[in-house]
Amino acid sequence: MTPNDTIRAQFGYQGPSTILNPLKPSSGPYIVVRSLTKFGEKHHGPTRRLVLAFDVGTSQGSISYCILDPGDVPWIRNVYRYPAQEHVGGHLKVPSILYYDRNGIARAIGDEVLQESIMDEAEAEGWVKVEMWKAYLQPENVASRELTDMTLPPLPFGKTVTEILGDFLRYLFACATAYIHRTHNDVTTWMLCDTNFVITIHNGWDSRTAQFRQAVVLAGLVGKSPQDQQRVNFVTKGEAKTWFCLEIDAQKASLDQGVILIDAGKETVDLSTVYMCNNVIEDLLPLCRLHQGSTHVKKRAGIFLRDKLGASKYCAEDSIHSMTESFGKIALWRFSDSSEPLYVKFGTIRDNDTAFNIRSGQLKLKGTDVAALFEPSVGSIAGAIRELRKGTMKHISNVFLLGEFAASDWLFQSLNKVLEDDGLFVYRPDRYFSNSAANGAVAFYLDNIRAKTASFTYGIRCAITYDKDDPAHITRENTLISRPSGRASLVNVFSPVVTKGTRVPEYKEFRKEFIVESTPQSTFTIISTDVVYYHGENPNPRWIDLEPEKFKSLCTLKVDRSLIPRTVVPKQSVDDAPCYRQEFCLVLILGIGESKAQISWMENDSERRTPITLVLDHDIDEK
């Protein structure tokens, strides 16, 4: 059995065999990874290890990786070739599109979907093409200016977005495995059991990490055990891109400033606002998403050409399609001067219509007309940057332009010109900006100088002792319940543990104590609690009934009641039955792009903890 057959069997991919065709050996493009505190720091781990970073975008995905050898300086490398890509040199990106058959099985993924033979087979067999599926993962609290649920195509054959994500991650891993095997012939014997994964998520998508983890398990990359799950890490795209920019220009790492990162892709333009100071990166604002990527410039070009050539002999749809495709592949990226004409090649030397500036198979367009096609994208990006700048107290003077669309000189020049009067300067790395998130994710993983700012207020849904002198308590008397000790309590109260805007160093634990009361007649055997985050504007949220739609559950934690020591407490009622109190802590960790929570308690002077579970049972009280 060949290495390709082995990978194919292990990952269960049932699409065309081209996915595992041998890839041309190549060292690929790379950059040196250096700590922001030390240049060229060596890997001090005891064994060889692989770090794989997956950046799954709305329209494209990419992979970066790093092989950590003890005693060697790490290098970040890119997977630079994917199945069915036309040009010999390969490409850093692969389309995040899939074909599913009638049984809900992925039959073709990425560039395979664009092959004519695959499209013919798909039409004959009734396969369904899935695009823009990642938008279904977008949390309700994350704004997207142009996209609504009504514009999203339906998912096929009862598939969930988590299952589609799992299929795409399985495909990316198979591509990475094949590429790394061909480039580094000695790694496949250990890479499956000693691989750490870093997955990029959008700013404000912390609540979606559970779905990503489920997809990683469905993809077969790791198991469900806590030990396996520790090999999966998350980083926000804003943090990852910032790390990429700092690897390119480390001098900016020590500046005390806010920075706006523009990830300009094919379909979307994502704007992240971060703060940098003394090598620390923090998110300042939630992600802002615009549907103004390069594809939309191409679409506007198609509309313009249909109108311009309506009376030409080249007004047929096939001619317009050829011109539009040529514009999107070549001319769009060459355009850099509105005072100069732009030529769009679409035919042969026999194709001429001088009345419409068509000569020898080339259409001549005025530079001003081409600039107008970019204007909606430029205007939307500039407007969003101004709004983001108003939304933070941090000083912002620098903007980084990244992503595939960043390769457009006209976009870069136009943004610089438009934002110059606002005192903003736009920078563009001179290399690898189309894979900035994946490269930055690896750099983020390798460097341990990390901090973030809490995007929301995190806490717990609980009960509190009733205060007869508090007006807010009096208005909620109808929700009073009696505790076993005789205390009167109000339920459905939010107890904050980490407030929005709190600076959160990596791995810092936030704790808050809680209690639960019981009697010998109590029947519940599990102590459970719902961990909640608040995404409203109130700086001190307390009463859930005021804004119930602003409180969302992150997870539910549980622990066997019999494990936590109990104490007898005095009763405030005439009932002679004993009352027991059990004390525990909620431990909350906000780091590496996701939130983690545990219940902890003391037993014989030693702390014990329980992992995350998903059960909701009874009420608990704030201590």
Confidence of residue 105 (pLDDT cuts 50, 70, 90): very high
Q: What is the pLDDT of residue 279?
A: 57
The residue assigned the tokens 């409180």 is 551
Gap between the Cα atoms of 401 and 408, Å rounded = 10
Greater pLDDT, 88 or 2: 88
* Residue 119 reports pLDDT greater than 90: yes
pLDDT tens-digit readout, 486-544: 889 999 899 999 888 787 765 678 899 988 888 877 777 888 888 888 988 899 999 99
User: Minimum mean pLDDT among 13-17, 232-236, 346-350, 408-412: which range?
Assistant: 13-17
Q: What is the pLDDT of residue 166?
A: 96
DSSP character for 331? I
Gap between the Cα atoms of 203 and 139, Å rounded = 11
Q: What is the pLDDT of residue 163?
A: 96
Q: What is the pLDDT of residue 193?
A: 54
Q: What backbone torsions phi and psi does residue 70 show, to the nearest 5 degrees?
A: -55, 130
Gap between the Cα atoms of 294 and 296, Å rounded = 5
Determine if the pTM surpasses 0.85.
Answer: no
**Cβ-based neighbours of 73, under 8 Å, separated by 6 or more:** 32, 33, 34, 40, 41, 42, 43
Average pLDDT in the chain:
81
- Ranked by mean pLDDT, the top range of 78-87, 204-213, 352-361, 430-439 is 352-361
Gap between the Cα atoms of 389 and 294, Å rounded = 24
pLDDT tens-digit readout, 40-98: 467 666 678 889 999 998 888 999 998 888 888 888 888 988 998 865 455 788 999 99
Report angle CA 148, 153, 155 to the nearest 5 degrees: 120
Gap between the Cα atoms of 135 and 57, Å rounded = 9
pLDDT tens-digit readout, 534-557: 988 899 999 999 999 999 887 788
The residue assigned the tokens 């070739």 is 81
Q: What is the pLDDT of residue 41?
A: 65
Residues 106-124 have a mean pLDDT of: 94
Say how far residue 325 (Cα) sits from the centre of its chain: 29
Closest CA to 299 of 319, 337, 327, 333: 327
